[in-house]
Amino acid sequence: MHLVQYRETDQTRRVAIVGDDGRTVTPLAGYGTTYDLATAAIASGQTLAAFCATLTRGAPVDYDDILASGRILPPLDHPEPARFLVTGTGLTHLGSADARDKMHALEHGEDAELSDSMKIFRMGIDGGKPAEGEVGVQPEWFFKGVGTCIVAPEAPLELPAYALAGGEEAEIVGLYLIGPDGTPWRLGFAMGNEFSDQVTEALNYLYTAHSKLRQCSIGPELLVGPLPDHVEGVVRIRRGDATLWEGEFLSGERNMSHSIRNLEHYHFRYDTFRRPGDLHAYFMGAALLSCAHGVTAQDGDRFEIDVPAFGRPLRNTMTAVAAPRFTVKSL
């Protein structure tokens, strides 16, 4: 089952199931947000898919029209955006370690000693997939922001004036709702563009935190249920009518150095991440980076992440914005 959120032309919100042919979406009666839908499913004691099956459905709506008119929304959001925590990890795929090492080599030279990135990646290879009932090695982790940093599919991704670069990071995103008793409930997975400043990060590994504090995009579809063990996709950067760069990537646990369970354990073990009613978007690492192939995205370039297992492609255009003006005042 794939879910989407969108607005009607009168701005009424809908949650809908994507049709088998991918051309239409069918709204679910009684619920205008995935958040409310998932909250009700938890209360009912049913899975999200089973709960949706009990609901009345409206008339099918043309999916292309929703996308073309800019009415698509991220597949999950919170009525209080500050209670939607956006975090993630890297170095979880073989390709991610290679790309990250190339990124640091471009800045520091091929003869630089083994990077911290490669060291932590090797730790994941050795201990990132523990046996059932055991805990594996701790992954990398970063904070990206709260719900206000998530932009809808088809919407612009802002490149701040202070950024040294803006680059796509195509990643699978786990989406979670914390239940009334503090239990993390995984609603499913979506594709995401984590969108980072890899040039700033390459200057020094301790700048990683700064490089991640950017917007991101998720969707357009929420895949309800388990993640396929093997996921194939394509990342493209388009400049005007031409394809500037294109690359294929693999994901899913078969192609990862950490299990999903291990990543989730190290995130939700912290009490602050199990507050009832909160949402979490957890980016699970990129397998491919265009910057590692010498590509520099520019204002107006369009990122496209096309993964058939997740439905329609995730598309966003990078847009340069002016530096913010503010003054810190003494109170």
In eight-state DSSP terms, residue 272 is: G
Q: List per-residue pLDDT tens for the chain, 331 residues long.
A: 999 999 999 999 999 999 999 999 999 999 999 999 999 999 999 999 999 999 999 999 999 999 999 999 999 999 999 999 999 998 888 766 566 555 555 555 555 566 777 788 788 788 888 888 899 889 999 999 999 999 999 999 999 999 999 999 999 999 999 999 999 999 999 999 999 999 999 998 899 999 999 999 999 999 999 999 999 999 999 999 999 999 999 999 999 999 999 999 999 999 999 999 999 999 999 999 999 999 999 999 999 999 999 999 999 999 999 989 999 999 9
Question: Phi and psi for 126 in degrees, rounded to 5?
Answer: -75, -35
What pLDDT, on the 0 to 100 scale, is given for residue 121? Answer: 77
The encoded tokens of residue 179 equal 């239940």
**Is residue 37 within 8 Å of residue 30, measured between CB atoms?**
no
What pLDDT, on the 0 to 100 scale, is given for residue 223? Answer: 98
Query: Taking Cα atoms as reference points, which of 17, 35, 37, 14 lies closest to residue 77?
Result: 35
What pLDDT, on the 0 to 100 scale, is given for residue 229? Answer: 96
What pLDDT, on the 0 to 100 scale, is given for residue 246? Answer: 98
What pLDDT, on the 0 to 100 scale, is given for residue 100? Answer: 57
The encoded tokens of residue 223 equal 């895949």
82-115 as b/e: b if 16+ CB within 10 A: ebbbbbbbbbbbebbbbbbbbbbeeeeeeeeeeb
SS3 29: coil
The conformational region for residue 216 under phi > 0 = left, psi -120 to 50 = alpha, else beta, is: beta
User: Three-state secondary structure along 276-331?
Assistant: CCCEEEEEEEECCCHHHHCCCCCCCCEEEEECHHHCCCEEEEEEECCCCCCCCCCC
Question: Phi and psi for 102 in degrees, rounded to 5?
Answer: -65, -40
